[in-house]
Amino acid sequence: MSNFGIRWPGDSFINRGLAASVLALLVAAGLFGIVGCGSSGNSSSSGNGGDEIVIAMLPKLVNIDYFDACQRGAERAAEDLGIRLIYDGPSEPSGSEQNKFIETWTRQGVDAICIAPNQPKTIKRFVEKAKERGIKVLTWDSDAADSGRDLMVNQVDDKLLGETLIDDIARQMNEEGEWAIAIASLEATNLNTWRRYAEERALSHYPKMKLVETVVTKEDESVAREQIELLLNKEPNLKGIIAFDSNSVPGAAEALKRTGRAGEVALTGNSTPGRMRPYIKEGVLESFYLWDPRALGNLTIRLAVKIVNGEEIAPAMPIEGHRDLVFSENDSTMVILSDPVRFTKENIDEYDFGI
Amino acid sequence: MFRRISKSIRQRLLFLTAGNLLLMGVILANLLSGDDSTTASALDRFGTVLMDAGPNVAPVILAGLGLTGIIFAGALDLSIGSMMVVAGTVFGILFSRGFDPAACFLGCFLTAFVLSNFNGLLIRWLEISPIIVTLAGLTFYRGLALIMADAFIPDFGGSIAVHDDAYHGPGQRYPGQILLIAILAALAWETWGKLPRVWLAHGCSPEACRLHGLKPGLILQSTFFAGGIFLGLAALVDVTNRQNLEPARMARGFELEVIGAIVLGGTNIFGGEGSFLGTILGAFFLYFVGQTLLYADVDLYYREAIQGALIVIVIGVDCALHRRQKLLDELK
CATH number, residue B324: 1.10.3470
pLDDT at B134 over 90: yes
CA distances from A346 to A47, A283, A286, A351, B315 (A): 48, 11, 10, 11, 55
Is there a contact between B45 and A236 if contact means CB atoms under 8 Å apart?
A: yes
Q: Give the whole-number percent of chain A exceeding pLDDT 90.
A: 72
Structurally, chain A folds into a number of domains equal to: 3
**B2 domain-assigned:** no
Residue B87: domain span: 7-32+40-331
Q: How confident is the model at residue B214 (pLDDT cuts 50, 70, 90)?
A: very high
How much is the pLDDT for B329?
Answer: 62
Alpha carbons A294 and A355: distance in angstroms, whole number? 10
pLDDT digits (tens, 9 = 90+) for B271-280: 999 999 999 9
Residues A163 and A82 in one domain: no
pLDDT digits (tens, 9 = 90+) for A172-225: 999 999 999 999 988 788 899 999 999 999 999 999 999 999 999 988 899 999
pLDDT digits (tens, 9 = 90+) for A211-234: 999 999 988 899 999 999 999 999
Q: Give the DSSP letter string of B265-294.
A: TT--TTSS---HHHHHHHHHHHHHHHHHHH
CB neighbour list of residue A265: distance below 8 Å, 6 or more residues apart: A232, A238, A239, A240, A241, A256
**A314 domain-assigned:** yes
ipTM value: 0.86
A140 forms beta bridges with A153
How much is the pLDDT for A340?
Answer: 93
103-142 in B: which are within 8 Å (CB) of A?
139, 142
Q: How confident is the model at residue A48 (pLDDT cuts 50, 70, 90)?
A: low
A328 touches chain B (CB under 8 A): no
- Chain B contact probe: residue of A66, A213, A233, A239 with most B CBs at under 10 A: A233
Average pLDDT taken over every residue of chain B = 91
pLDDT at A44 over 50: no
Q: Which residues of A touch B291 (CB under 8 A)?
A: 230
How many Cβ contacts (< 8 angstroms) between chains A and B? 80
How much is the pLDDT for A28?
Answer: 45
Structurally, chain B folds into a number of domains equal to: 1
Q: Are A117 and A144 in contact (CB under 8 A)?
A: yes
Residues A212 and A235 in one domain: yes
Nearest to A98 by CA among A139, A70, A44, A135: A139
**B1 domain-assigned:** no
In this structure, which amino acid lies at residue B42?
A
Q: Give the whole-number percent of chain B exceeding pLDDT 70.
A: 95
Alpha carbons A38 and A172: distance in angstroms, whole number? 60
How much is the pLDDT for A15?
Answer: 45
Q: How confident is the model at residue B300 (pLDDT cuts 50, 70, 90)?
A: confident
A261 touches chain B (CB under 8 A): no
A323 forms beta bridges with none
Alpha carbons A89 and A60: distance in angstroms, whole number? 7
* Strand (E) or helix (H) holding B244: strand B244-245
Q: How confident is the model at residue B62 (pLDDT cuts 50, 70, 90)?
A: very high
Residue A37: domain span: 3-46
Q: How confident is the model at residue A94 (pLDDT cuts 50, 70, 90)?
A: confident
**A347 domain-assigned:** no
pLDDT digits (tens, 9 = 90+) for A219-276: 889 999 999 999 999 999 999 999 999 899 999 999 999 999 999 999 999 999 989 9
How much is the pLDDT for B123?
Answer: 93
69-98 in A: which are within 8 Å (CB) of B?
69, 91-92
Report the phi/psi class of residue A109: left, alpha or beta, with left for phi > 0 and alpha for psi in -120 to 50.
left
Task: Say whether A209 sits in a helix, a strand or coil.
Answer: strand
Residues A228 and A260 in one domain: yes
Provide the sign of the torsion angle of the four alpha carbons B42, B47, B50, B56, taken in this order: negative
How much is the pLDDT for A63?
Answer: 82
Residues A283 and A192 in one domain: yes
pLDDT digits (tens, 9 = 90+) for B77-109: 999 999 999 999 999 999 999 999 999 999 999
**A33 domain-assigned:** yes
CB neighbourhood size of B73 (10 A):
29
Residues A134 and A72 in one domain: yes
Q: What are phi and psi of A265, to 5 degrees?
A: -115, 120
Q: Indicate whether this model's pTM tops 0.95.
A: no
Alpha carbons A338 and A322: distance in angstroms, whole number? 9
How much is the pLDDT for B1?
Answer: 59
pLDDT at B189 over 90: yes
CATH number, residue A166: 3.40.50.2300
pLDDT at B185 over 70: yes
Q: How confident is the model at residue A30 (pLDDT cuts 50, 70, 90)?
A: very low
Q: Where are the beta strands (DSSP E) in chain A?
A: 54-58, 84-87, 112-115, 136-140, 151-154, 177-183, 209-216, 238-243, 266-269, 288-290, 326-327, 334-336, 341-343
A65 touches chain B (CB under 8 A): yes
How much is the pLDDT for A14?
Answer: 39
Average pLDDT taken over every residue of chain A = 86
A14, A29, A46 - which closes a domain: A46
